Amino acid sequence: MPLLDFRSDNVGAVAPQIMAAVMHVNTGTADGYGRDPLTKSLAQTYARAFDADVTVFPVATGTAANAVALSVLTPPWGAVLCHPTAHIHASECGAPEFFTAGAKLIPVPGPQGRIDPDALRQVLDGAGRNQPHRVQPAVLSLTQPTDLGTVYSLDVLATLCAMARDYGLRVHMDGARLANAVATLDCSLADVTWRCGVDILSFGVTKNGGMSADAIIAFDRRLAGPLTFRLRRAGQTFSKMRYAAAQLAAYVDADLYRHLASGANARARCLADGLVGAGVPLVAPVEANEIFCQLSPSTVRQLETVALFHRHANDVVRFVCRWDSDEADADTLVRAVARYGAAGVSS
Amino acid sequence: MPLLDFRSDNVGAVAPQIMAAVMHVNTGTADGYGRDPLTKSLAQTYARAFDADVTVFPVATGTAANAVALSVLTPPWGAVLCHPTAHIHASECGAPEFFTAGAKLIPVPGPQGRIDPDALRQVLDGAGRNQPHRVQPAVLSLTQPTDLGTVYSLDVLATLCAMARDYGLRVHMDGARLANAVATLDCSLADVTWRCGVDILSFGVTKNGGMSADAIIAFDRRLAGPLTFRLRRAGQTFSKMRYAAAQLAAYVDADLYRHLASGANARARCLADGLVGAGVPLVAPVEANEIFCQLSPSTVRQLETVALFHRHANDVVRFVCRWDSDEADADTLVRAVARYGAAGVSS
Amino acid sequence: MPLLDFRSDNVGAVAPQIMAAVMHVNTGTADGYGRDPLTKSLAQTYARAFDADVTVFPVATGTAANAVALSVLTPPWGAVLCHPTAHIHASECGAPEFFTAGAKLIPVPGPQGRIDPDALRQVLDGAGRNQPHRVQPAVLSLTQPTDLGTVYSLDVLATLCAMARDYGLRVHMDGARLANAVATLDCSLADVTWRCGVDILSFGVTKNGGMSADAIIAFDRRLAGPLTFRLRRAGQTFSKMRYAAAQLAAYVDADLYRHLASGANARARCLADGLVGAGVPLVAPVEANEIFCQLSPSTVRQLETVALFHRHANDVVRFVCRWDSDEADADTLVRAVARYGAAGVSS
Amino acid sequence: MPLLDFRSDNVGAVAPQIMAAVMHVNTGTADGYGRDPLTKSLAQTYARAFDADVTVFPVATGTAANAVALSVLTPPWGAVLCHPTAHIHASECGAPEFFTAGAKLIPVPGPQGRIDPDALRQVLDGAGRNQPHRVQPAVLSLTQPTDLGTVYSLDVLATLCAMARDYGLRVHMDGARLANAVATLDCSLADVTWRCGVDILSFGVTKNGGMSADAIIAFDRRLAGPLTFRLRRAGQTFSKMRYAAAQLAAYVDADLYRHLASGANARARCLADGLVGAGVPLVAPVEANEIFCQLSPSTVRQLETVALFHRHANDVVRFVCRWDSDEADADTLVRAVARYGAAGVSS
């Protein structure tokens, strides 16, 4: 019997609607590098999805989306402010530094994966504005949901973005799992992005049922030119773009992203409730599709005989639920945990 | 009636064998970022295909393959020697300069898109070896087939590689259409690459029936570490790697690449013969799936009412035949050219 | 009457021996870019000064020395470990990120400006060795004296360097004020550098009586080639190199560096004793020529009417003594502090 | 007897007026990094010299001046158009590529070292404006005098700058020897720069009697911010800036630059006349202080027993006259050439 798989959302399959869209475009010829009709129509498709005039750039990975997006917002002597746990800071092998020609990432702390507004103000006030020996804060990067599986409220998002703007910074959102946040907040894509003050978005598709395409969504038209050249030069402009465009179009068609993410969130909710019921302490509230919780080393070892999951740090593990996670898996996992004893019990 | 489409090989569809492979892996879960069994097995698959111990890295585009491959062969103060028409020099928006942190591309001329060995020696002799104010030749980059649709013979390839080696350079091959060269030369992948002295290969898949994956093939194991980190940092490491790996595996399975390329070459052969028969002067011999020929402006204008193709320069146009080009299209095109009058006639 | 000047050592003049050396070489012609006899002889001069086979590269600034030195020790995907207060991290506008093509600086804490060996081990253990999504620790950068004016003992230096070596890192020393540390430790230049395990040194000259030249000293001959090309390309290779070489030669002639630094240290010792006597709390022990201490805001304001100095942070100020500080200035300053009341008194 | 020295202008000494200025500022203290009064007053000093509101940035080398100046005019995906013989292209080890994060240098030919306006138009027309796969022309870089010792007339300069502007390019002037051109043209610094349409200037000081300072002069105030941060980050901001500022101030005081350059030009004129009289063919007209001429290999060998000079290429040699060249040296050299036989005679 295969192990229960809670490793990540990127271990999951491609959603049937998206696979169907890919197969559907596989007929006849279409111009390359985004000049095909489907890719051209993405602007309209996404304008509807985001209720705004946007430019859309398919890219191969979330890392590319993040790093290229940042590179059009900061000069090389700029600083990108982000949470210490941010993927751009901790898990992209320095991609932002590479694409920005050496900008600096400055961590801004806050509980539960969220940047604290007071901490942000403190960093901004101490950053040495206009002092030539200091890198100059240029971008605030917000991860929604955060890297601890929590979600910023729209109010806090707006507060952070307004503060960034006051200090002359632009705002990037790493939305590798944005659909999961949108499902939680029960808001629109517009609400959680440009209406809060976001200038550019890394829009995740792959983790939530896509195959090999994420997107940069720019809410400021002046960014389109620099993005076009930077992406080409980064080897991120697919020649057979129609296959990426098909994924992106299907993803927002009939709110597929929301449908898939709601399922994942619901399964995570169930699993979290079960774990808490079994006495497992959560590290952060479960507000999307990821669960960070404490388990004793012995429980972890035993659990590894029935399930795959990520050891986050010391006695903290992560379980991720996907659009295609089996509903029964959560129950099975909870029962196993109960059997082996939760963290508070055995440690 | 749709126009005849000779624009490029990237306007074509995904070959059914490759699409089937993509669909086939879309079940269950698989670890991300290349840790899945299929991606891991690519090393063996490609070891057989190349008759050598190789490391294989799927990437999103040929530009990424080229630029990242070059970046592990040259220091920032190095020079990459290539033909003036090379894609890396003329058509990648400076990707090699970006990925190498500012290395310089030095054009080395030669007829019909091929680097001339004497010209190469002259450039190498005049390059100012060890003079600190000069960039230092570090890589010879060969395009096979060339950007004018010609093919290097194995002898010339070996001569150029040996000369590079003598001067302390490494050798990169841009094989965006390598399958077409292999089909022409009727040789093995090994013959045309490492047996000639190639250190690293950009192996094109997308143009010849793939969807969204090309590959870097390293014949020197010491390059694997730097490639791993550079690709991750470049946003070129697909998280759902199995879908890229499936394309790469299917592409060499049962010599699919050769089968597809042979078809394209054959159609190009037919078209070239027809054009020559109609009095059209070729710019370079047709040795793969691309035809560069001269047409008068008026013929070009008339032809554009029935066919799509690329205006290469002034009175030179390019026709590309694909694995999925309709056999009848070549005939139709030739008849149209005959009807409108070839270059020599009408201008 | 001019204000007492304790701002920095770079506000001071050029030492007469160094100015004389500059004037001395101003006759006849000399080849450019370091091919003149004086620059060539620097290798021998510095071999004697460092009791080792070294290569010496004059540069225009300490920032250039640091950033270029780091760039030959780390790949772009590497990490440079340094103290949070390190000049390379806090005060060089991202120069290391620029010259390394985007390496990451990872702060390693420790009291009084010194990296704590346990903290270093913890960072190294948690750095994700060989994990492609993590930048890879490549360099340990030690500042001697530290940015809080303290000095690493030779034992601690050796311990830190050995730990770095065990984990596969190279060691860089930022010795912008190395002469002051050497004077304090009463050791040789060899003792404090390569004998402890340092691979490359930024050797400060400007702050201690030089004019416009610092140096990179490489203890590993294999670094010479990369340094040569990187410096030329960085615009750091003076064409009239003899004038920089004259400064560097004079600086170590008859241990001038030590003589000048001892004077500055002695004056700092006096000033520190006087301040402590007046009830001023030191932030860190005074072990070189810099004093970091606490003063109340009102004292700072009053003191600014008689003296120039650097407000370091909140209620912390910095006083720097130079080779050319007037001996009487320390007394005058202490008397002023006593008059205005020290931090503990007035706040 | 020392050899006659015609190697380069950078083998010469520092002019007494400049050395005196350096010694003059060596008293008391002065704030660092350009905040001292002398450096601050450079803006006014140079505003008078250039009859314009300029910002002045001292740098350590001409390579730094060129590369940093270019980096504020082009995006990384831009192209810098320059003559094939331009120092930035041929002799700076890729510095422009490094500082611009990978922009491309595109050679534009023309006789005698000067860019031909028709060739420039042709390159601009064929550059693929707005095509994402092509680097985008962003800067025209003009060397005045050229790298073959010729001088652009003001008319041609204005024509080239106007053409650049029409195509949306900015204009950089490499004025490593600008004083020599100004002396030849008998024009003002304003005439040869911003009045022709130059946006930014690398103003050479070192070759014409300076010690270790050149300057970037920006005629567009918006460039000042980016230059400030880029220079700091490049390690080009001297901490003891007063010593560089003193050189720059003295250089334009009482038109010293013109006086020194006129002397060098006059000696070059004499030497050129003598060589021509001796039957030596010039490669290009001698319009500044450099002579490029043809000499037979045997003459070169014999001449090397009495003089130092640069072998430019094959049978072309370069003689450079300096502000401090001995007047008699030209005669001695001519007599030697006459004795050994000129190129046309002995070869």
- 3 state SS for chain B: CCCEECCCHHHCCCCHHHHHHHHHCCCCCCCCCCCCHHHHHHHHHHHHHHCCCCEEEEECCHHHHHHHHHHCCCCCCEEEEECCCCHHHHCCCCHHHHHCCCCEEEECCCHHHCCCHHHHHHHHHCCCCCCCCCCEEEEEEEECCCCCCCCCCHHHHHHHHHHHHHCCCEEEEEECCHHHHHHHHCCCHHHHCCCCCCCEEEECCHHHCCCCCEEEEECCHHHHHHHHHHHHHCCCCCCCHHHHHHHHHHHHHHHHHHHHHHHHHHHHHHHHHHHHHCCCCECCCCCCCEEEEECCHHHHHHHCCCEECEEEECCEEEEECCCCCCHHHHHHHHHHHHHHCCHHHHC
C103 contacts A97? CB cut-off 8 A: yes
Measured between beta carbons, the chain A residues lying within 8 angstroms of B100 are: none
DSSP state of A172: E
Residue whose token pair is 């050129």: D272
Query: CB distance A102–C104 less than 8 Å?
Result: no
Give chains near C: 3+ CB pairs under 8 A: A, B, D
* Residue D132 in contact with partner chain B when CB distance is under 8 A: yes
* Contact flag B212-A60 (C-beta cutoff 8 Å): yes
Among residues B247, D112, D99, the alpha carbon closest in space to that of C232 is found at: D99
Give the chains touching A; criterion: ≥3 Cβ pairs < 8 Å: B, C, D
pLDDT in tens, chain A (347 residues): 689 999 999 999 999 999 999 999 999 999 999 999 999 999 999 999 999 999 999 999 999 999 999 999 999 999 999 999 999 999 999 999 999 999 999 999 999 999 999 999 999 999 999 999 999 999 999 999 999 999 999 999 999 999 999 999 999 999 999 999 999 999 999 999 999 999 999 999 999 999 999 999 999 999 999 999 999 999 999 999 999 999 999 999 999 999 999 999 999 999 999 999 999 999 999 999 999 999 999 999 999 999 999 998 888 999 999 999 998 999 999 999 999 986 544 43
- Average pLDDT score, chain C: 96
The residue among D57, D229, D236, D237 with the most chain A CBs within 10 A of its CB, best to mutate, is D229
Tell me the C-alpha distance between A299 and A340, whole Å.
Answer: 6
Which residues of chain A make contact with D75, given a CB cutoff of 8 A? 226, 229
Q: Does A17 touch chain C (CB under 8 A)?
A: no
| Mean pLDDT, each 10-residue run in order, chain C (347 residues) | 92 98 97 97 98 98 98 98 98 98 98 98 97 98 98 98 98 98 98 98 98 98 98 98 98 98 98 96 97 95 96 92 95 94 52
A282 burial level (CB within 10 Å; 0-12, 13-18, 19+) = middle
Predicted pLDDT at D344:
45
Residues B177/B180/B184/B187 CA torsion (nearest 10 deg): 80
Burial class (CB in 10 A: 0-12, 13-18, 19+), C308: middle
- The CA distances from residue A347 to A238, A301, D152, in Å, are 51, 13, 82
Strand order in the sheet with D316-320: D290-294, D316-320, D310-313
- Per-residue model confidence (pLDDT) at position B75: 98
Distance CA B226, CA B200 (A): 13
Q: Which of C91, C94, C134 sits opposite A102 (nearest CB)?
A: C94
What average pLDDT does range B112-130 have in this prediction? 97
How far is A302 from chain B, CA to nearest CA, in Å? 21
What CA dihedral angle connects A302, A305, A308 and A310, to 10 degrees? 30
pLDDT (0 to 100) of residue B2: 80
If you search the block for the tokens 């036989």, which residue do you land on? D341
Residues 217-246 of D with CB under 8 A from B: none
D81 - beta bridge partners? D106, D140
Q: Does residue B101 belong to the interface with chain C, where contact is any CB pair within 8 Å? A: yes
pLDDT reported for residue C244 = 98
Residue C97 to residue A93, Cβ atoms within 8 A: no
Amino acid D346: pLDDT? 41
Q: How would residue B345 be classed by pLDDT, with cut points 50, 70 and 90?
A: very low
pLDDT at residue D2, as a whole number:
80
CA distance readout (Å), D210 to C241, C258, D243, D249, D278? 12, 30, 11, 11, 34
User: What is the C-alpha to C-alpha distance for residues A158 and A152, in angstroms, rounded to an integer?
Assistant: 10
Q: Do A64 and B23 touch (CB under 8 A)?
A: no
The answer to whether A230 and A293 have CB atoms below 8 angstroms apart is no
- Ranges assigned E (strand) in C125-238: 136-143, 170-175, 200-203, 214-218
Task: Tell me which chain C residues have a C-beta less than 8 angstroms from the C-beta of A102.
Answer: 94, 97-98, 100-102
The reported pLDDT for the residue numbered B344 is 46
What pLDDT was estimated at residue A347? 38
Closest by CA to D280, choosing from D203, D209, D345, D210, is D345
Percent of chain B at pLDDT > 90 equals: 96
- In this complex, is the C-beta atom of D90 within 8 Å of any C-beta atom belonging to chain C? no
Burial of A254 (0-12, 13-18, 19+ CB in 10 A): exposed
A7·B234 Cβ contact <8 A: no
Distance (Å) from the alpha carbon of C125 to chain D's nearest alpha carbon:
31
Q: How far apart are the first and last CA of chain B?
A: 29
Pair D24, D228: CB distance under 8 Å: no
Give one DSSP letter per residue of A294-334, joined into a string: E--HHHHHHHTTTEE-EEEETTEEEEE--TT--HHHHHHHH
- Which residue does chain D place closest to C310, by CA atoms? D31
Res B202 pLDDT > 70: yes
Looking at the DSSP assignment, which residues form a beta bridge with residue B56? B217
- Cβ–Cβ below 8 Å for D230 and A77: yes
> Under an 8 A CB cutoff, do C59 and D235 touch?
yes
CB contact under 8 A, A229 and D75: yes
**Across the C/D interface, how many CB contacts are shorter than 8 Å?**
158
pLDDT above 60 for B347: no
What pTM, to 2 d.p., does this model score? 0.97
Please compute the mean of the pLDDT values over residues B220-240 and round it to a whole number: 98
C39 vs B: CB within 8 A: no
In the predicted structure, residue D347 carries a pLDDT above the cut 60:
no
User: Quick one: closest CA in D to A230, which residue?
Assistant: D77
- Residue C341: the pLDDT is 81
Cα distances (Å, whole numbers) of residue C3 to C74, C78, C311, C326, D208: 44, 46, 16, 12, 38
Mutate to test the interface with C, among D211, D242, D247 (most CBs of C within 10 A): D211
From edge to edge, which strands make up the β-sheet containing A310-313? A290-294, A316-320, A310-313
Cβ distance of D12 and C23 shorter than 8 Å: no
D297 has pLDDT over 90: yes
Query: B: neighbours with 3+ CB pairs under 8 Å?
Result: A, C, D
Among D205, D206, D233, pick the best mutation site for testing chain C contact (most C Cβ within 10 A).
Answer: D233
Place of tokens 């091929």: B114
pLDDT in tens, C217-244: 999 999 999 999 999 999 999 999 999 9
pLDDT band at D345 (very low <50, low <70, confident <90, very high): very low
Q: Residue D162 is which amino acid? A: A
Instruction: Identify the pLDDT of residue B342.
Output: 66
Mean pLDDT of D127-134: 96
Interface TM-score (ipTM) > 0.90: yes
The residues, any chain, with a CB within 8 Å of residue A83's CB and separated by 6 or more, are A89, A107, A108, A109, A110, A113, A114, A115, A143, A146, A147
User: Does B98 contact D97 at a Cβ distance shorter than 8 Å?
Assistant: no
Structure tokens at A312: 């986050």
Q: Give me the mean pLDDT over the B192-221 stretch.
A: 98
Asked if B32 has any chain C CB less than 8 Å from its own CB, the reply is no
* B290-294/B316-320 β-pairing: antiparallel
Chain D residues whose CB is inside 8 A of the A102 CB are: 233
The alpha-carbon gap from C232 to the nearest alpha carbon of chain B, in Å, equals 6
User: Could you please report the per-residue DSSP string of D237-289?
Assistant: S-SSHHHHHHHHHHHHGGGHHHHHHHHHHHHHHHHHHHHHHTTPPBSS---SS
Beta bridge partners of B143: B174
CA distance D101 to B96: 11
The number of angstroms, rounded, from the C-alpha of A337 to the middle of its chain's C-alpha atoms is: 28
**What local confidence, expressed as pLDDT, does residue C126 receive?**
96
Q: What is the DSSP letter of D134?
A: S
Residue A241 distance to chain D (closest CA, Å): 14
* Contact B20/A at CB under 8 A: no
Query: What is the rounded distance in angstroms from the CA atom of residue A156 to the CA atom of residue A158?
Result: 5
Nearest residue in chain D measured CA to CA from B91: D133
C-alpha separations of C278 from B262, C271, C310 in Å? 91, 10, 20
Strands B316-320, B310-313: parallel, antiparallel or unpaired by DSSP? antiparallel
DSSP A39-102: HHHHHHHHHHHHTS--EEEEES-HHHHHHHHHHTTS-TTEEEEE-TT-HHHHSSTTHHHHHTTS
Residue B243 predicted with pLDDT over 70 = yes
Q: Is D33 in Cβ contact with A76 (below 8 Å)?
A: no
Q: State the best of B14, B212, B325 to mutate against chain A, taking most chain A CBs within 10 Å.
A: B212
Q: Is the pLDDT of residue B343 over 60?
A: no
A33 in contact with D, Cβ within 8 Å: yes
User: Which residues from chain C sit within 8 angstroms of residue D29, using beta carbons?
Assistant: 5, 7, 11-13
DSSP assignment of C26-66 = -SS---STT-SHHHHHHHHHHHHHHTS--EEEEES-HHHHH
Residue D342: per-residue pLDDT: 66
- Indicate the helix (H) or strand (E) that contains C90: helix C87-90
Determine the average pLDDT of the residues in B262-272.
98
Q: Do residues D282 and D276 touch, judged by C-beta distance below 8 A?
A: yes
